[in-house]
């Protein structure tokens, strides 16, 4: 038996949620200091994808091709200290992924603000708009980003 799908997708010609607004660029911050790795996702209308930049330069794969996706799920989560440290001595945080919180879904050049909900470790996370309707994605590649609460801004 195949696993349950992680996301619902729109059928061809199916409209986006009514609350969708155009988005050009979203900046995500994952901490400060020397270890900071800010991410930008920018809409490329000519190719129908979001382009990923990290630390101000294109994020590329092994072949040197910039990373792209049709959907970006930005799920704002709290973090707690695991009690571990990395080789540099910095504390290792862990995201709190059970519960609910704010989300931004980027799809088809638009942003839908909503709420993510995950009832248990075993449950699949669901995403709903402000009216409670499920947020359906564009068929294609999907990235999930887990910034800390307040860790992203729309910059374009």
pLDDT at 32: 65
pLDDT, tens digit, 9 for 90 and up, residues 25-56:
999 998 766 667 899 999 999 999 999 999 89
pLDDT band at 76 (very low <50, low <70, confident <90, very high): very high
Q: Which residues are within 8 A (CB) of 38 and not within 5 positions of it... i.e. 6 or more apart? A: 27, 28, 29, 30, 54, 55, 56
| Contact of 117 with 126, CB cutoff 8 Å | yes
- At residue 33, the pLDDT reads 62
Q: What's the confidence (pLDDT) of residue 88?
A: 83
Output the CA–CA distances (angstroms, integers) from residue 79 to 5, 76, 110, in the order listed. Answer: 26, 10, 28
CATH fold, domain 21-146, is YerB-like fold (3.50.90)
How many CB atoms within 10 Å of residue 108? 20
């Amino acid at each position: 038996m195949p696993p349950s799908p992680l996301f619902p997708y729109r059928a061809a010609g199916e409209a986006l949620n009514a609350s969708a607004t155009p988005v050009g660029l979203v900046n995500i911050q994952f901490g400060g200091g020397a270890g900071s790795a800010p991410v930008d996702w920018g809409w490329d209308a000519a190719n129908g994808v979001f382009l990923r930049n990290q630390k101000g330069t294109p994020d590329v794969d092994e072949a040197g091709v910039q990373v792209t996706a049709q959907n970006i799920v930005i799920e704002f989560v709290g973090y707690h200290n695991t009690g571990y440290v990395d080789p540099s001595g910095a504390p290792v945080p862990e995201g709190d992924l059970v519960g609910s919180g704010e989300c931004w879904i980027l799809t088809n050049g638009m942003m839908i603000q909503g709420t993510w909900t995950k009832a248990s470790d075993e449950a699949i996370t669901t995403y709903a708009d402000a009216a409670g309707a499920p947020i359906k994605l564009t068929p294609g590649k999907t990235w999930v980003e887990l910034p800390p609460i307040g860790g992203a801004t729309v910059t374009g």
